[in-house]
Amino acid sequence: MMWMFWLLGSIVAFHSLSCTHSHLCPKKCVCEHTKSVQCFRIQAVPSGLSLDVRKLNLAYNHIKEIKGRDFTGLSDLQEVSLSSCGVELLEINAFLPQTSLRVLDLQKNKLRHVPRGLPSSLEVLRVGHNHIHGLQGVAFEGLHHLRVLDLQSNMITVLRANTLSALVKLECLYLDGNRIETVNGALRLPQLNLLSMTSNRISSLSSALFASLQSLRTLQLSENLLTRLPHNLPRALLHLSLDRNKIRTLRNRDLAQLRNLTVLSVSANKVSSIDGGLRLPNLTSLELSGNQLKVLPGRLASKLETLDCRQNALQEVTHQHLSGMRHLKHLFLENNTIRHFEAKALRNCFQLTNLALEQNLLTSIPEGLPDTLVRLDLKQNRIDTIQEKEMRTLKRLQVLNLRNNHLSSLSLAVLAHLPRLQRMFLGGNPWNCSCELLRVKHRLMVRQVDIGEELCVEPAPTLGDHWRASLLEQPRCINDAAEDTDYSGPEEQTENEEYYDYDV
């Protein structure tokens, strides 16, 4: 027994002796290789770290205070994570000797200030989800290499642009989820590519703010209190998000300089008019759902691929509004009050595959829809008949939703115009289960079209005469159907996107 202890002791002694310099891994830490260390269940920065450690991951521990001496000698450190550690205090200049430090992650702590005296080598600083109330320029002095600054989910109320003016290399600035009401001055950040201020309390932005943001590509201002578009938006913008504000009008003159804009999103505002049309030559996606538009926006660029005008107050669709949209693929018009859909209104939309018209007031299927359509949703309208001429162009249609309309009959001839149909929703209609409809049902089954729920199910035997009559009727109807020969097997799938039918 005794010698076993002796042997063990000497192994441990030998081990620590030979590892003092470079291969020691502190207790509760994992050293993947000596240069990357991760520690668990610690309450202070571990001592005895190998001096050449580059990456130190201390996330999810309990470390209230960070002091400069915690990192003495670790001059090769490049990345440090102290996120979710409950850090309240970070000593000034704590990392100043770490002149190779590039990434410092301090998210989800209890810091009240952006730490001061960080090394000028820093490229990424994450201090999101802390208790920071205000920003002081002194914290950013010397950070000439900072590219990413994440300040989201703090308690900042005022943003003074000049506090950030030292950050000449800044590319991404995240200020989402603060309480910013005012933004003062001009942001002089020539390299800034992304500015995100979603979910604040901004009601207006001065035009000076953007004057020196010549590289800005993405601007996110959703969930604020803006009542109009900011003036002087940066010309290089590609993406602009203004969802969930209180904007009432979109004016071409506020947007006209955005020649490169590709995505504009102004959903859930109060837009009731669009002055002068939106002549944005590179726009491919326009989202205007949840506004108060009575007419479709006109004069849209021909590059537009997606137009989303769901949940507005649209009453009609005419060729005039849509004539220039030769590249339109997706048109979302559901949940409006559309009664009138001009025949061939979409005749110039040579690429349209998706048309959503559910929850409107249509009494018939629009005539002359583009033959490129793959999905057509007409759920919850007032359609009471389907005519052959309306179906003639729908040779590529795969999904047709007619649920919750006023249909009582459907003819086989209609089906013959839909050779590629894969799914058809027919529930919620006052079907007259006539022989013809039973034939249609049989045909759909033979063609393996998915109709979701049962159509004209045989009533339970207890229902008596009526049931017996329909039972007698069925084989006769089906025999007739067997003579139809126009069907030549299922078509290949041309689109793989899933289609969802939401219950309303």
Helices (H), 32-176: 137-140
Cβ proximity to ligand NAG: between 432 and 479 the closer is 432
Cα-Cα-Cα-Cα torsion 153, 157, 160, 163, nearest 10 degrees, comes to: -50
Cβ proximity to ligand NAG: between 293 and 376 the closer is 293
- Parallel, antiparallel or unpaired: strands 148-150 and 239-241: unpaired
CA distance 74 to 13: 25
Q: By CB under 6 A, is residue 302 in contact with ligand NAG?
A: no
Cα distance between the two ends of the chain? 77
> How near is the Cβ of 301 to ligand NAG at its closest, in Å?
9
Residue in the block written with tokens 């219950």: 503
Buried b (16+ CB within 10 A) or exposed e, 202-241: beebbeebbebbeebbbbbbbbbebebbbeebbeebebbb
> How near is the Cβ of 484 to ligand NAG at its closest, in Å?
19
Count the Cβ atoms, other than its own, within 10 Å of residue 259.
13
Q: Which of 119, 106, 117 is nearest to 57 (CA)?
A: 106
Cβ proximity to ligand NAG: between 410 and 421 the closer is 410
> How near is the Cβ of 273 to ligand NAG at its closest, in Å?
17
> How near is the Cβ of 379 to ligand NAG at its closest, in Å?
10
Cβ proximity to ligand NAG: between 125 and 255 the closer is 255
Selected binder of ligand NAG within 55, 133, 235, 251 (CB under 6 A): 235
Cβ proximity to ligand NAG: between 148 and 236 the closer is 236
Q: Which of 443, 480, 441 is nearest to 458 (CA)?
A: 441
Q: By CB under 6 A, is residue 259 in contact with ligand NAG?
A: yes
Rounded to the nearest angstrom, the gap between the alpha carbon of residue 77 and the centroid of all alpha carbons in its chain is: 36
> How near is the Cβ of 408 to ligand NAG at its closest, in Å?
6
Selected binder of ligand NAG within 9, 281, 464, 490 (CB under 6 A): 281
> Ramachandran region of residue 469, left (φ > 0), alpha (ψ -120 to 50) or beta?
alpha
Q: By CB under 6 A, is residue 434 in contact with ligand NAG?
A: yes
Residue in the block written with tokens 């018209």: 357
Q: By CB under 6 A, is residue 470 in contact with ligand NAG?
A: no
Cβ proximity to ligand NAG: between 32 and 458 the closer is 458
Cβ proximity to ligand NAG: between 225 and 504 the closer is 504
Sign of the CA dihedral 161, 164, 165, 167? negative
CA distance 403 to 406: 9
At residue 36, what are phi and psi to the nearest 5 degrees? -130, 115
Query: Please, which residues bridge with residue 265 across strands?
Result: 241, 287
Number of residues this chain uses to bind ligand NAG (CB under 6 A): 12
Selected binder of ligand NAG within 212, 218, 272, 282 (CB under 6 A): 282
Cβ proximity to ligand NAG: between 89 and 236 the closer is 236
Cβ proximity to ligand NAG: between 282 and 364 the closer is 282
Cβ proximity to ligand NAG: between 132 and 338 the closer is 338
Residue numbers 175-234 binding ligand NAG by CB under 6 A = none
> How near is the Cβ of 178 to ligand NAG at its closest, in Å?
28
Cβ proximity to ligand NAG: between 18 and 337 the closer is 337
Number of Cα atoms under 13 Å in the Cβ half of residue 125: 27
> How near is the Cβ of 186 to ligand NAG at its closest, in Å?
18
Q: Minimal CB distance to ligand NAG: which residue?
A: 236
Name 498's Cβ contacts closer than 8 Å, sequence gap at least 6: none
Selected binder of ligand NAG within 93, 432, 448, 494 (CB under 6 A): 432
> How near is the Cβ of 128 to ligand NAG at its closest, in Å?
29
> How near is the Cβ of 183 to ligand NAG at its closest, in Å?
22
Name 471's Cβ contacts closer than 8 Å, sequence gap at least 6: 458
Selected binder of ligand NAG within 153, 311, 405, 422 (CB under 6 A): 311
Number of Cα atoms under 13 Å in the Cβ half of residue 303: 13
Q: By CB under 6 A, is residue 236 in contact with ligand NAG?
A: yes
CA distance 189 to 214: 8
> How near is the Cβ of 281 to ligand NAG at its closest, in Å?
4
Selected binder of ligand NAG within 260, 273, 318, 348 (CB under 6 A): 260
Mark 327-366 with x for binding to ligand NAG (rule: CB under 6 A) and - for no binding.
Answer: --------x-------------------------------
Cβ proximity to ligand NAG: between 231 and 235 the closer is 235
DSSP assignment of 8-60, as one string? HHHHHHHHHHHHTTTT---TTEEEEETTEEEE-S-SSPPSS--TT--EEE--S
Cβ proximity to ligand NAG: between 160 and 330 the closer is 330
CA distance 436 to 410: 8
> How near is the Cβ of 246 to ligand NAG at its closest, in Å?
16
Residue numbers 392-421 binding ligand NAG by CB under 6 A = 408
Q: By CB under 6 A, is residue 294 in contact with ligand NAG?
A: no
Residue numbers 25-84 binding ligand NAG by CB under 6 A = none
Q: Name the residues that contact ligand NAG, by CB under 6 A.
A: 235-236, 259-260, 281-282, 311, 335, 408, 432, 434, 504
